Structure 1
Amino acid sequence: RTDNVDDEVIGRLDEALAERVGRWNRFSENALRDRIDKWVATVDPAGERVPPAVRDQRYLDIDPHPTTAGMALIGGALHAMDAAALQARITAIAATVCDEDPRTTAQRRADACGAIGRWETSLACQCPDAQCPNRAVRDGAAQVVIHLLAEQTTITGSGTAPGYLPGFGIQPAEAVRSAARAAKLTPVRLPGPAPEPGYRASAPLTDFLRWRDLTCRWPGCDAPVARCDLDHTQPWPVGRTHPSGLKHYCRAHHLLKTFYTGPLGWTDQQRPDGTIVFTAPTGHTYTTEAAGGLLFPTLARPTAPLSTTSTSTGACAGAEPATPHRSMMMPTRRTTRDQDRRARIHHERRQRLDINTEHQRQHQAWLAATYEPPPF
């Protein structure tokens, strides 16, 4: 609540709060927030946080907004199958703009709902480039694909094992059978013992690994595989393209594994069943098992062991030697977090000054319209 307070007056605010905070222990979170906001407004009126505009708070429910003309409240509760189809379509349409589009992901997803209502299959890009090919809106219906993993016996009706819908979790057997009636059924191919010749995994191997892992394999991370990269446990070409040496990491943990590895960083060791043993820089070890293999044991059957599926320290012949300076090659941000924070604070303070000025103007206008000199 005090992020936007100017450095020159933050000391005065701290003193004012310190004198009173001892009497605020029993306040609720809302009551405590209100008192802090009151003192921020007293000490530094421009430092009061600016709540996001209603029009920027987009989510899925369709009702007219009770107070803001021209806006709507959007939200809802759906069957998981319907929500998955809608999720896939919204995501696909939201991704049709270029990287320079100024809207956030949440705003583009909200705008995609309007595109769906207009039977459009893309968004008009709002980047500054007048020649951007994504500025034109494409009409027509696009096919939406959702994936549901289930046992064959569940689909045929001879079994009752639940299925799995990425992003929505376990689905009852009846829901699986209902969805399967109109769906294209594709078996998940179990990989053979031989590694593949190239760096990139084939489509069948990629599908198997996605269903085996389901999420990022880093300890404590549950990012879905749709947002993950395939990683060779032992760097290729020393590490072969084989399920015993491949797993999924989200981009953040992929970077961590790649650039903070070796004697002073993290190492990972993969077993033929997909289990991964991590060793932290502190020496602690953490073990993760493939989520898909836990739900569907067939996916966790050990594949052929690989002699190069060792920890990513570069100890194997032909591998890049480990170095404590590898993190120097880490990709850098366009702007630092501190620069982003200062830019946000500067923008919010200008917003707050504009809001305060408008409130003062409205108050003076009200006084001019209603003030009567004495005698009343």
Structure 2
Amino acid sequence: MTSSLFSPATLGSLQLRNRLVMAPMTRNRAAADGVPTESMTTYYTQRAGAGLIVTEGTQPSAVGQGYPNTPGIHNAEQAAGWRRVTDAVHEQGGRIYLQLMHAGRISHPSLQPDGGRPVAPSAVRPAGQVFTTEGLQDFVEPRALETEEVEAVVAEFAEAARLAVEEGGFDGVEVHGANGYLPHQFLAEGTNQRTDRYGGSAENRARFLLEVTAAVAGAVGAERVGVRLSPANSFNDIVEHETEDVYAAVVAGLEPLGLAYLHVVEGPPAVTEQIRRAWSGPMIVNPAFSLATTTDNLDALLAHGRADLVAVGRAFIANPDLVRRLEVDADLNLADESSFYGGTDAGYIDYPTLDQAA
């Protein structure tokens, strides 16, 4: 039986050569000023065989930075660095979206302009520690955004999207509404204790993400915009009990916008199914750690109608030619977890392809 994983797909105005998406993954290889490096160009170009690449989370402002050596998209130098990446990927026939990620409270004063406190919906300190240039440090209590500041952050997302597409050469952008970062912090009742129009009911807590997405769509065109969600994901100390109500409000608000796609990190299957029923556009599902990366497993997600495309993370780190390996049922390289976050080119751009291994 022919695998549907390798059949073409359409996302917005893009034609993709297969349905395998390289999921966004933080790798901490940008320069200290957030400008993409030559090694990043090589890394993404090696993986251009994916139907779509979604880049690592990229901060839309200096305040949005959560970790050392993550890339930005809030000045001309960063956009020019990304342009080198996108030009190289396009030369290989690839398609690439930039993920816009504001870390919110998942940051540290050492990473903030002038050593300020990270911002968040409410002044709720995350449990645990964050990785900084000085090693692991305790999270601090963030500063709650004032209502008028929230509107300014929405505008920063829109300007970052414009930079990404018009100057950075990206095919589109993905708004990161998942994994405990700023939009997810607004969605979850554990991190959102606001009493203004951005807090309280599920509809109010969804408002920030919806306003960001609408502003981004207005800046670059809805057909170039995707949104990533992770229902019930407790990563980064998220407490979220009203999952079904919150994501019903989110999808109801996103549905009329005409976006390129919705990208769901698999959580409770019932919630994925709820989103699938309510969402009429293309849907990318990332099975996270619930499935081994095999053609049969990924095909099953497509065959059962849970997804139109499938996103894979770690297997793409270790296998730049992952699409070909799955097509011919070849063994996969194992990823070196010690080199995931920062470091040299080892464990970054030196994984062998099938041809190199032979």
TM-score under structure 1 length normalisation: 0.24
TM-score (norm 2): 0.24
Structure 1 or 2: more strand by fraction: 2
The structure showing larger relative contact order (alpha-carbon pairs under 8 Å, at least 6 residues apart) is: 2
Larger Rg: 1
